[in-house]
């Protein structure tokens, strides 16, 4: 049993699918950073930096609140890779693991992104850049690499 299970990786790689499978198995908490409600940003503020910082700080408070209440297997995802690098420092002293989900087959990741139910904005150039950056980064403390290349959803979750 873990205190926290963090799942990181590029868009469309299967983070949500894996998180939902782990949630069903462990019955802890399921939290995606995008669950934070929308909010108005003052017009004189750098929107991107301000929004990301607030989302991160809110996420940390929510995750720590669940932990303080004694809940285990808190599954959290959708943090950018820069914030992921802070996890070992912030959650030092807790029993956590970070699952770095990647696909060494970029074309598979691209197909998954294009076929996903939530269409949203798809920036394939950004997807390729972020995938390469995440794959190249050395593993952090308590982080394991899960390569989903040529795996079905069932293979990746189980």
Cβ atoms of residues 31 and 59 within 8 Å: yes
Give the residue ranges of DSSP H helices in the chain. 15-26, 47-68, 81-84, 87-90, 106-115, 124-136, 153-157
CB-CB neighbours of 103 under 10 Å: 25
| pLDDT tier for residue 142 given thresholds of 50, 70 and 90 | very high
Reference 73, options 8, 35, 29; nearest CA is 29
| CA–CA dist 4, 110 (Å, integer) | 29
Q: What share of the chain is helix, strand, coil (3-state, %, to 5)?
A: 45, 15, 40
> Which tops the pLDDT comparison, 16 or 157?
16
| pLDDT tier for residue 130 given thresholds of 50, 70 and 90 | confident
Q: What is the CATH architecture of 4-157?
A: 3-Layer(aba) Sandwich (3.40)
**Residue 119 three-state SS:** coil
According to DSSP, residue 44 is labeled T
**Residue 147 three-state SS:** strand
CB-CB neighbours of 137 under 10 Å: 14
| CA–CA dist 73, 30 (Å, integer) | 9
Give the mean pLDDT of 45-66.
87
| pLDDT tier for residue 64 given thresholds of 50, 70 and 90 | very high
At a CB cut-off of 8 Å and minimum separation 6, what does 20 contact? 30
Give the mean pLDDT of 105-110.
76
The label of the residue with tokens 């750098």 reads: 46
* Predicted local distance difference test score (pLDDT) of residue 37: 83
Give the mean pLDDT of 116-130.
71
Q: State the pTM of this model.
A: 0.87
């Amino acid at each position: 049993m873990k205190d926290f299970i963090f799942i990181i990786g590029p868009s469309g790689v299967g983070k949500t699918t894996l998180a939902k499978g782990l949630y069903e198995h462990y019955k802890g908490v399921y939290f995606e950073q995008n669950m934070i409600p929308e909010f108005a940003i003052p017009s004189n503020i750098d929107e991107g930096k301000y929004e990301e910082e607030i989302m991160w700080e809110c996420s940390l408070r929510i995750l720590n609140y669940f932990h303080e209440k004694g809940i285990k297997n808190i599954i959290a995802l959708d943090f950018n890779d820069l914030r992921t690098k802070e996890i070992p420092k912030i959650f030092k002293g807790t029993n956590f693991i970070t699952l770095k989900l990647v696909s060494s087959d970029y074309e598979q990741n691209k197909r998954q992104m294009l076929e996903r139910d939530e269409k949203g904005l798809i920036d394939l150039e950004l997807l390729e850049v972020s995938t390469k950056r995440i794959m190249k980064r050395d593993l952090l403390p308590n982080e394991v690499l899960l390569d989903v290349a040529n795996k079905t959803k069932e293979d990746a979750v189980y």
